C-alpha cells in the first residue's frame, strides 16, 4: 500500500514538473510574441516608417499581384541588400520617391544602361510593370514569407486587436507570475513550519532523554 502511495506521489511530482516546464515555455513564447507585436505596432504608427529588425523589414501584402507566390495578407521579410547583388527571378521590394506604398514584384530583366535598372512584373500579371526600377529605389530582396499572418498584424493595430492580442496575454503573464510567487511563499512557509515542528520534537526528545 505504502509503495503504491509513493509511486503515485512520484508520478504526480513528475507530471507537475512537466506542466511547470510547459507553462514556462508558453509564457516565454507569449512574452516574445507580445514584444514583437509591440515593436511592429509602434514603429508602424510612424508615417513612412517600416518596422525593421536586424536589417530586415516587414511588409504586408495588400494585393494578389504576386499570386500564387504571395497571397493577400501574407507577411514578407525583406532583407536590405546592395542592388548590384539582385539577380533575375529575385523578388524585390521597391518604392519610388512619389509612391506612398512599396511594391513587391519579381525581376524579369536587368538593364545596365545609363544606370542600373530592373524590369519587374507581378507573377499574376501578363505584362511587365510600366517603368523600370532604378537601383536606388530598391529596398531589398524578399527572403521569407508567412501566409495570412499579415491579417493578424493588421488586426493587432486596431483597438480590439490590441485588447485581445496584447493586453489580455500580458495580464495572463502577470497573473501567472503572481500566482507562482504566492505558491513559492506558501511552500517556504510550510517548509519553515515543518522545520520548526521538527526542531521542537528534537528538543523535547533531548529533554526527555536528559531527565
CATH of the domain at 81: 2.10.109.10
32 in a domain, yes or no? Answer: yes
pLDDT digits (tens, 9 = 90+) for 118-176: 999 999 999 999 999 999 999 999 999 888 877 777 777 677 776 776 777 778 777 77
189 in a domain, yes or no? Answer: no
For residues 97-124, give the mean pLDDT. Answer: 92
The cell for 36 is 514583437
Q: CB neighbours of 171 closer than 8 A, spacing ≥ 6?
A: none
pLDDT given at position 101: 86
108 in a domain, yes or no? Answer: yes
203 in a domain, yes or no? Answer: no
Give CA–CA dist 183/179, Å, rounded: 6
Residue 65 shares a structural domain with residue 143: yes
125 in a domain, yes or no? Answer: yes
pTM of the model: 0.58
pLDDT given at position 5: 47
Residue 174 shares a structural domain with residue 90: no
Residue 145 shares a structural domain with residue 161: no
Beta-strand ranges (E) seen in the chain are: 52-53, 56-60, 75-79, 91-94, 103-112, 116-121, 133-134, 138-146
Residue 25 shares a structural domain with residue 57: no
Among residues 152, 127, 130, 125, which one has the least CA distance to residue 66? 125
pLDDT given at position 197: 53
7 in a domain, yes or no? Answer: no
DSSP tag of 140: E
Residue 122 shares a structural domain with residue 67: yes
The number of angstroms, rounded, from the C-alpha of 108 to the middle of its chain's C-alpha atoms is: 33
DSSP tag of 130: S
What is the domain range of residue 60? 52-153
Residue 141 shares a structural domain with residue 106: yes
Residue 124 shares a structural domain with residue 172: no
28 in a domain, yes or no? Answer: yes
pLDDT given at position 89: 96
Residue 162 shares a structural domain with residue 149: no
Residue 29 shares a structural domain with residue 112: no
The answer to whether 155 and 165 are in contact (CB under 8 A) is yes
210 in a domain, yes or no? Answer: no
First-residue to last-residue Cα distance in the chain: 38
Q: What is the CA radius of gyration of the chain?
A: 30
Residue 39 shares a structural domain with residue 68: no
Number of domains in the chain: 2
Cα 144–Cα 150–Cα 155 angle in degrees, nearest 5: 155
Amino acid at each position: 500500500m505504502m509503495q503504491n502511495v509513493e509511486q503515485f506521489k512520484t508520478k504526480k511530482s513528475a507530471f507537475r514538473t512537466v506542466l511547470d516546464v510547459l507553462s514556462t515555455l508558453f509564457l516565454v513564447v507569449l512574452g516574445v510574441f507580445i514584444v514583437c507585436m509591440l515593436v511592429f505596432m509602434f514603429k508602424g504608427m510612424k508615417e513612412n516608417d517600416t518596422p525593421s529588425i536586424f536589417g530586415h523589414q516587414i511588409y504586408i501584402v495588400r494585393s494578389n499581384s504576386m499570386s500564387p507566390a504571395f497571397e493577400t495578407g501574407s507577411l514578407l521579410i525583406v532583407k536590405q541588400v546592395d542592388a548590384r547583388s539582385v539577380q533575375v527571378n529575385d523578388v524585390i521590394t521597391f518604392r519610388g520617391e512619389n509612391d506612398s506604398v512599396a511594391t513587391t514584384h519579381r525581376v524579369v530583366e536587368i538593364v545596365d544602361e545609363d544606370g542600373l535598372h530592373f524590369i519587374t512584373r507581378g507573377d499574376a500579371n501578363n505584362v511587365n510593370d510600366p517603368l523600370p526600377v532604378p537601383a536606388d529605389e530598391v529596398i531589398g530582396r524578399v527572403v521569407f514569407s508567412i501566409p495570412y499572418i499579415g491579417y493578424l498584424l493588421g488586426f493587432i493595430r486596431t483597438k480590439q486587436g490590441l485588447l485581445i492580442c496584447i493586453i489580455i496575454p500580458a495580464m495572463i503573464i502577470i497573473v501567472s507570475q503572481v500566482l507562482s510567487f504566492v505558491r513559492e511563499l506558501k511552500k517556504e512557509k510550510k517548509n519553515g513550519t515543518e522545520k520548526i515542528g521538527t526542531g521542537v520534537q528534537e528538543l523535547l526528545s533531548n529533554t526527555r532523554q536528559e531527565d
